[in-house]
Every structure is written in structure tokens, then in C-alpha cells.
Chains A and B, each alone.
Chain A
Amino acid sequence: MTILLIYIAIFIGAFLVVKFITSRLEQRHDFTSLKTVTFGDESAVTANRTASVISIVAIFLIWGAFTGSKLTPIHAPGPYQGKGQFDYVVEGPDGQRDTASVFWQVEDKKGAAEDLEIAEGDGFALNDAINIIKYRSGQLRWDGNDAVSRKDGARIVEVDGQATDFDPNQRDADGNLVQDRPRFRIDNGSVTMTDKGALLITPYQGWQMEPIWLPSPEAVWSRIVEIASEGYQNNTLLQHLGWSLFRVVAGFFFGALIGIPLGYAMGLSDWFRGWFDPIVEFMRPVPPLALIPLVIIWAGIGEVGKVILLFLAALWIMTIAARAGVSGVNITKVHAAYSLGASRWQIMRHVIVPNSLPEIFTGARVAMGVCWGTVVAAELVAAEKGAGMMIMVASKFQLTDIVIMGIILIGIIGYGIDILMRRAERWLVPWKGRS
């Protein structure tokens, strides 16, 4: 929630700052800047590059700030690291009171810090010392070293000057507590009491995320470097990604190989259309993910199963695109070609096929995106290698940095595929949308 607010603040702040600077710096006089109507004129809206850059930087800044990254100059407050001390007052079974101190310190992981050396103190309640692991709470059985114990009826009546009448021995018939458990403030943290009257010390946690939830950017980066060179689960990073890509390309290739001619046949012959319409219309709304279990049953988790799945994912999309491409041909073009002496085959080759290319490219872009998503999902379910499998295995071992690395790489590759398809489209069908 706080993060969202911060993000919105950065969005608005950057907008105001950039608009202010650009309005000062440059007075553009190109065509767009002279348009008086820009709201609602989509062609006047181009992505503001500065905004894109700031957007990416902002995400990394927030990510770094909340994970204690060394790369970012500012940080959200981190967890308290260091020592602390508070006093508590014990009331013995006989009603006598004695004060003792608790000395605590935060350690990075279990056994990282040496035990604190403390003076025992006096009275029947002795001082205690405890090490608490970062981001965790420490439970202190304060009576462990005292002359009186909870079993005897001794209880804490005051922590750092904050009194309480909580008595863990007061229970109802079901054995539940009658009173609410108290909570005390101490320097750099808080203390609560457990059901049994022990002290639960929680040092100040801060706003940052634990690495196990969200590792810092540099941790993810060093994971990328490490896995790129050493590999993970018997395969290098490139092999994992390469296998995923290979499956997508192979599945898409076969899908297009069958789907495009099928789509043409459906656009040109009533028999084909009648025969395949029910099948295509039925398969179209079935998400490829729903086919994963069946494909695994039939073909196993090996390459064949994956390629079949992606083939099925691409097939219907390409069929429908090719069919739409044929139906979309302007009848005057066909008429013109006939009266110029073209045969049926020539019309197919020189009019219908080129005319359907824009539609087919649109379909191919969609199919590639769907295939990429499907392959990752299929690898999440079952695979021996691949980007999705890497994430899945890492998540089982709570290696969040690998999971995040995988997600980032999957996103980058998916984006890259789409950019490549768009390039190819502009190169191969430059007339798209211009007739």
C-alpha cells in the first residue's frame, strides 16, 4: 500500500518536473505541437520517452529502496540491527517484586553473533540475555535463571515502566485466556507476552522486504551471472532459455505449417469450412493451459509433449488468421485479376496469399505470445529443463532471486519476440493498414 502511494507520488512528481523542464527548455514547432486538438487525437499521442525511462528507473529505485540495495541512494528504513535493553518487574508468588534487565541483540543468522556478556544483577529475578535473528522475534523464558518461576505463580507486572495485570493462569472452562495479551513498547522494538507468560521480543522490523520475499536487484543480478556461468539444475541459463525458445519456435512452426493451409482451405472451399468449422470453433475458446494434463498423459513430459501442446496453441490461431485473410480479400481485386487473365492458381498465389499476409502476421504475433506463455506454464507443471522449470524448482527451495530472475528473463524474451515480429511485419507487409 505504502509502495503504491510512493509509486503514484513518483509518477505525478516526475510528470510535473519533466513538463516544467521541457516547457522551459524547448519550444517545439513541429506539426504535432501546433495541433490545438490533441485530446482524443490518438495520432498526437506518442509515448514520452522520458516517461518510459523514469518509469523503469522508478521501479528499480523502489525495488532497491525496499530491499536495502547498495545501488540505490535512498532506502526505506531497514530492520533494527544492534543491541537493546529493557527492564521488567516480576511479582513472585508471595507478592514481592523485583526488577531485572533483558539485554538483546540482533544477529544476521543463527549463531552469527556471540552471546552477550551481562552482569547477573541482584534479587530473585536475574538479568537475561538473548540473541534474535534479523526479521524474527525472540522468545525469552525470563524465569529460566530466576529463583521464582511461572509455574510457581510468578508473573511479570511491568515492562519498561508499563504496568500490566495480565495473568496467564487465569483461564476459562475451555482453557482459553480471559485477558488480552499485553504489548509493551521498548526502545527499537516491542514486547508482547505469550500465552504462557513468556516475553516475545520483536525488534523494529522497518519497511524493507526480507530477501526471502524479495531479494535486492544486485542479488538477482549476481544470480544471473552465476547461473549463466555455472548453470542450474544441470543446464546453463542459455540452455534453459534456449530449450524454451526452441519449443516455442517448433510448436509455432508446425502450427503455422498446418494452420495456414487449413485456413486457406476453409476460406476457399465450403466442404472444408463445413468440416472444420465446428472443430475450430470448439477448440478456439479452450485455453492451451487446459490441454497440459491431457498432453502429459498422452505424450509425457518430454519434448514431444511440449511441442504438441504449442502446436495446438498456435494451430487454431493461425487457422483463424488465414481464414480471415482469405475472407478479407476485396472481391474487386479478384475480379480485376480474373479479367487480366489470371487462372485460379495464379489468383491464389498472386492475390489471395499476399492479400492475407497482414492478417496472418497479426495472427502470428498473437500465436507467438500465446505459445511463449504456454511453454512457461507447461514447464512449470512438468519439465526437465526450461525457463518455467527453473522458476518452479527454485521456488520449491525458496530461491526467490532465481524466481525473480526467471520472471524478468521471460518478460524480456516475450517482449523481444514481439519486437522481432513487428520488425518482420513492417519489412514484409509494408502495405498493412494503408489501403
Chain B
Amino acid sequence: MSGLVLDAISMRFDLPNGDHVQALKNVSLDIKTGELMSVLGPSGCGKTTLLNIIAGFLAPTEGAVTLNGHLVTGPHQERGMVFQKGALFEWMNVRENVAFGPRMNGVPKSESAGKVDHLLEVVGLHDFKEKAIYELSGGMQQRVALARCLANEPDVILMDEPLGALDALTREKMQGLVLKLWKETGKTIILITHSVEEALLLGERLIVMAPRPGRIHKEYNLPFAEMGVGADLREVKHHAEYALTREEILNMIWDMEEEIMGRTEGAA
């Protein structure tokens, strides 16, 4: 058995006041090795919860996650994570941050140095090796986070809104970089985003989630990621099907948000 399998995951948060939140209900997914999957959904539908369960930070109340046949019980370097921001270590310079994973796993410096250099080259930060983290721009910091994750050669890369804090232009460049890394490394990537355009570009497979309880609402298989590799992403966006799918998903999410608002207004 290879690939990442989510088997009927449910997650319930018990609140201190006796209430509970059903963050996820019966989520099942079969993700093939090397797949690029993006996850969309209105705020609070359980995307982060889902990713945290896959990463092993949370144990689901029901169901199980298996990767390549073995059960996921906690965090492990086989599942790397890229956070939106604030996850880099300010007390280390760029190179030390990227070399952190290999170092923790007992890889001697002499062995990892070449790989770290190469990765910094790939993300275009070779000249910033010795810089401190706080001297870098937000986009550069996210590239460091990507390189740090890749240095460990994880089987799965989990990204929770990795480009959410970047400006539009930097974001577009980073989207190209993610596609390039996906193609070159052949890793399984799960990427959460709030941007429909980004989800379309960075998802062979796109999952739209619905809230209350968090569940999978609709699934798409899309050609744009493949088209976008090494190409001008703006060209891809001019594709007729791209615009159609985008409108469809936007409407879908819009309706969900409307429903949430209506429900809370009705309750109030």
C-alpha cells in the first residue's frame, strides 16, 4: 500500500462549557504518491484541523490516517509541514534553518551541506545563506521554509496557507516555484488555500470542503497544474475552462458562506 489514506476521519472538540464542535465528520481520502492536492473551503470548515491530523499534531476522535501502509500516530519527518508564517527559527541563519531537519536526524554536516546548498540554490536564496531570518522579506522567509521542509526529503508536504501572507506578485512567483518543486521532486503535496485561483493552479486534484460539520463537498480533477509547470501562469489563467471552474467554485463557496451567515443570523 503506498500513498496517504484518510479513513473516515472525524474530529470533535469538546469545549470547556460542555458544548462541542464537530470540526470534521467522516472525511475519507485516498491520495496517491506524487499527487498535488489543494483544499478550499470557507473559514472554519476544518481545513487546518485536517492538516494537523495528517501531520500528527492531533489525533482524530474517529478514523485513522495511514501513510504507505503504516498508521500515523504523531509527527514524523516523513510528513513535512510549511506554515503560513512564524515557524522559522530566528536564532539561526538561513543555512542553519534549512539544515535543521538533517541535523536533528543525525545526518553529519558534511553530508547535508551539499544538499542544503543545492536547495538554497533552487529557491533562489544562495546569496542569503548567512543572513539572519529577520533580515529577509516575507517571500524569502517562505522560500526558506520550503527549502527547510525539502531538506528532510519528506514523503508528503503539508502546506497550510503557505502563501497567504504574501503580496500578489510574490505569491505568483512562489506558485511557480511550488509547481516546479512538485514536478522535480515528485512529492505528495497537500496545500490549503483561501484563494480559488491558487487552488486551481496548484491542484491536480481540488477538494472543496463544507462547514458544520467539516466534510468534503466536491472534488475536481484539473489539468492546470500540469499545464502550469514551467509555463507562464497567467497564460493558464486565460484558459476557458479555468475561468468556468473558477466561477463555479466561487459560487459554491459563496453559497456556503451565505448559508453560514443566514444560519448565525437566524440563530441570533
State whether these chains interact: yes
A residues in contact (CB < 8 Å) with B: 330, 332-333, 335-343, 346, 350-351, 354-355, 357, 429-431, 434-435
Q: How far is the CA of A342 from the CA of B77 in the complex (A)?
A: 8
Q: How far is the CA of A39 from the CA of B148 in the complex (A)?
A: 43
Whether A332 lies near B86 (C-beta < 8 A) is yes
Indicate whether B142 reaches chain A with its CB closer than 8 angstroms.
no
Instruction: Please give, as numbers and ranges, the residues of chain A lying within 8 Å of B56 by CB-CB distance.
Output: 338-339
A428 → B minimal CB distance (Å): 10
Whether A335 lies near B90 (C-beta < 8 A) is no
Whether A435 lies near B133 (C-beta < 8 A) is yes
The A-contacting residues of B in range 70-121, CB under 8 angstroms, are 74-77, 79-81, 83, 86-91, 100-101, 104-105
Interface centre among A429, A431, A434 (most CB of B within 10 A): A431
When A341-B152, A350-B100, A431-B134 are in contact, do A336 and B77 touch as well, CB less than 8 Å?
no
Instruction: Please give, as numbers and ranges, the residues of chain B lying within 8 Å of A330 by CB-CB distance.
Output: 86-87
A349 → B minimal CB distance (Å): 10
Q: How far is the CA of A430 from the CA of B132 in the complex (A)?
A: 9
Whether A338 lies near B57 (C-beta < 8 A) is yes
The A-contacting residues of B in range 20-76, CB under 8 angstroms, are 55-57, 74-76
- Chain B, Cβ-Cβ closest to A429: B91
When A340-B100, A340-B152, A341-B76 are in contact, do A335 and B55 touch as well, CB less than 8 Å?
yes
Instruction: Please give, as numbers and ranges, the residues of chain A lying within 8 Å of B149 by CB-CB distance.
Output: 340
15 A-B residue contacts at CB 8 Å? A330-B87, A332-B87, A333-B88, A335-B83, A335-B87, A336-B148, A337-B100, A337-B104, A339-B56, A340-B77, A341-B105, A342-B104, A354-B91, A434-B90, A435-B90
Closest 7 CB pairs of A and B: A341-B77, A431-B90, A338-B75, A340-B101, A354-B91, A434-B134, A336-B87
- Chain B, Cβ-Cβ closest to A336: B87
Instruction: Please give, as numbers and ranges, the residues of chain B lying within 8 Å of A351 by CB-CB distance.
Output: 89
Whether B89 lies near A333 (C-beta < 8 A) is yes
Interface range on chain B: under 10, 10 to 19, 20 to 34, or 35 or more?
20 to 34
Whether B134 lies near A339 (C-beta < 8 A) is no
| Interface mask (B147-159 → A, CB under 8 Å = 1, otherwise 0) | 0110010100010
When A346-B104, A435-B86 are in contact, do A339 and B91 touch as well, CB less than 8 Å?
no
Q: How far is the CA of A336 from the CA of B159 in the complex (A)?
A: 11
A327 → B minimal CB distance (Å): 16
Known contacts A335-B57, A337-B104, A339-B76; 17 further A-B pairs (Cβ under 8 A): A333-B87, A333-B88, A333-B89, A335-B55, A335-B81, A338-B75, A339-B55, A339-B77, A339-B154, A341-B76, A341-B101, A341-B152, A342-B104, A346-B104, A430-B132, A431-B90, A435-B86
Whether B104 lies near A343 (C-beta < 8 A) is yes
Partner of A355, one of B91, B101, B154: B91
Instruction: Please give, as numbers and ranges, the residues of chain B lying within 8 Å of A346 by CB-CB distance.
Output: 104
Instruction: Please give, as numbers and ranges, the residues of chain B lying within 8 Å of A343 by CB-CB distance.
Output: 104
A56 → B minimal CB distance (Å): 36
- Chain A, Cβ-Cβ closest to B134: A434
Interface centre among B86, B90, B132 (most CB of A within 10 A): B90
A335 → B minimal CB distance (Å): 6
- Chain B, Cβ-Cβ closest to A353: B91
A367 → B minimal CB distance (Å): 22
Whether B148 lies near A340 (C-beta < 8 A) is yes
Q: How far is the CA of A336 from the CA of B133 in the complex (A)?
A: 16
Partner of B79, one of A339, A342, A434: A339
Instruction: Please give, as numbers and ranges, the residues of chain A lying within 8 Å of B79 by CB-CB distance.
Output: 339
Instruction: Please give, as numbers and ranges, the residues of chain B lying within 8 Å of A339 by CB-CB distance.
Output: 55-56, 75-77, 79-81, 154, 158
Q: How far is the CA of A357 from the CA of B133 in the complex (A)?
A: 17
Instruction: Please give, as numbers and ranges, the residues of chain A lying within 8 Å of B57 by CB-CB distance.
Output: 335, 338
Instruction: Please give, as numbers and ranges, the residues of chain A lying within 8 Å of B89 by CB-CB distance.
Output: 333, 350-351, 354-355
Whether A333 lies near B100 (C-beta < 8 A) is no
Interface centre among B74, B86, B148 (most CB of A within 10 A): B86
- Chain A, Cβ-Cβ closest to B151: A340
Instruction: Please give, as numbers and ranges, the residues of chain B lying within 8 Å of A357 by CB-CB distance.
Output: 91
When A339-B76, A339-B79, A340-B104 are in contact, do A431 and B132 touch as well, CB less than 8 Å?
yes
Instruction: Please give, as numbers and ranges, the residues of chain A lying within 8 Å of B158 by CB-CB distance.
Output: 339
Q: How far is the CA of A338 from the CA of B79 in the complex (A)?
A: 10
A331 → B minimal CB distance (Å): 9
Q: How far is the CA of A130 from the CA of B83 in the complex (A)?
A: 92
B51 → A minimal CB distance (Å): 11
